Amino acid sequence: MTERVLIKDLAAREDGLVRVSGWVEKVRDQRYVQFVVLRDESGAVQLVNGGVLREPDPENPRSDILVPRTTTISELTHGTFITVTGELQHNERVKLGGVEIQIETIDVVAAALPDNPVADDSNIDVRLDWRFLDLRRPEQNLVFRVQTTFLHALRQVWVDRGFIEIQTPKLMASASESRAELFEVEYFEGKAFLAQSPQFFKQMAQAAGFGGIFEVGPAFRADPSFTSRHATEFTSVDAEMSWIDSHEDVMELHEELMVAGLTAVKEKHGEEIKKFFNVELEVPARPFPRIPLAEAKEIVKAEGYEVPRADADMDPEGERRISAHVKKKYGHDFVFLTDYDASIRPFYHMRHADNPQLTNSYDLIYNGTEISTGAQREHRIDVLEAQAVEKGMDPKELGFYLDFFRYGVPTHGGFGMGLNRVLMLMLKQSSIRETTYLFRGPNRLLP
């Protein structure tokens, strides 16, 4: 049997017999010729039945008639999976890839119902209800090929630096950060919590002497938000490394990773991103701009917007405003907001040596939205315990975590970054629902 060929590889092949498999995207059933647009995971191709003259038969002067139409093609429904063998022909007049296939045989592998529930103008909720159909759209296929390329580039940086990949547990006996955002689950005779982040276990790897580590895995937040950038389950991209001098070392690693990821995506998918999303992907220059949080608030205030609470984080509107300022002044899509007040940071963030009100921490803003939080961690057990108490936490409940520091741990720091949010901003989509394989929110657990 002829080996199956991916549609993206057809243009490089010579004319001749080929076999392709995929799903029916469109059928045009005309009087003398039938066209089928077949799509697979790599692209689309035009199939043709009819419009080709047979060799004349001397005994039958009518034998040079067109190849007849077939009922099989007439009855193909959108989404039906088929395998086709036929004659590949290069034809520059064909807009779809410059090739077409003259059909010889069609095998219907699995027919689709005629009433497709997802239309071009279906809203996001309908598309999420039928996500497996929505994902057949080429732009959705592209999202996850971009994701694959982006993560591969990040991993290459980590591996080249000698980092170790770890997989941390997602069932925990106690909170890693805020109890208010924990999902509590039954666990045999007791209770467990779904991990909000791998934070404690990333730091454990520093105490274990692993040095640099990274993880790409799920995280859970019991946050009843319905915004375009929040989810109750998301993919977190995390890194942690030892022997840093300050959070500046973490920011430099973060820059290296983002530049590597965006460079790889632009090189491999830039033309398709422009075609499907009308986005001209930009690779950022290093170093990224850095602005202390207090200064950033003053900048947006001077430009007409005041963050509602002076003692709070930058709100979404403030993020958009400071990002627009940086784009205008520096031509940059990224900005690090640094030096966050200790009151709005976790207990394990290290404080400034000369100002205990400020932390050695940052948020990374990309195209107007925060994508990551990073920091130097506090590694001194006495200071760590005091900061936990200051935050109203009971050190006894943090026993396993604090034990890491009782047996020695180097200076260290790292970051956590939301992958789906990065993709949303990279491709300039309206919601992480578009860039999450299967979205989970307060009112969505299916499919």
How far is the CA of 18 from the CAs of 1, 5, 10, 104, 204, in angstroms? 10, 7, 9, 10, 55
Whether 418 has a binding-site annotation, put simply, is yes
Residues 6 or more apart whose CB falls under 8 angstroms from that of 345 comprise 359, 361, 375
Q: Which of 380, 385, 372 is nearest to 417 (CA)?
A: 372
Burial class (CB in 10 A: 0-12, 13-18, 19+), 337: buried
CB atoms within 10 A of CB 319: 23
Whether 419 has a binding-site annotation, put simply, is yes
Query: Rounded to an integer, what is the distance from CA 153 to the centroid of its chain?
Result: 13
Burial class (CB in 10 A: 0-12, 13-18, 19+), 315: middle
Express the helix, strand and coil content of the chain in percent, nearest 5 each.
35, 30, 40
Rounded CA separation 358/379 (Å): 16
Whether 286 has a binding-site annotation, put simply, is no
Q: Which two tokens stand for residue 206?
A: 């520093």
Whether 161 has a binding-site annotation, put simply, is no
Q: Which residue has the tokens 């959705």?
A: 140
Q: Which residue has the tokens 């965006």?
A: 262
Decide if 86 contacts 103 (C-beta within 8 A).
yes
Rounded CA separation 398/236 (Å): 23
Whether 373 has a binding-site annotation, put simply, is yes
Whether 104 has a binding-site annotation, put simply, is no
Annotated binding site for L-aspartate: which residue ranges? 177, 221, 373, 377
Annotated binding site: which residue ranges? 177, 221, 370, 373, 377, 418-421
Annotated binding site for ATP: which residue ranges? 370, 418-421
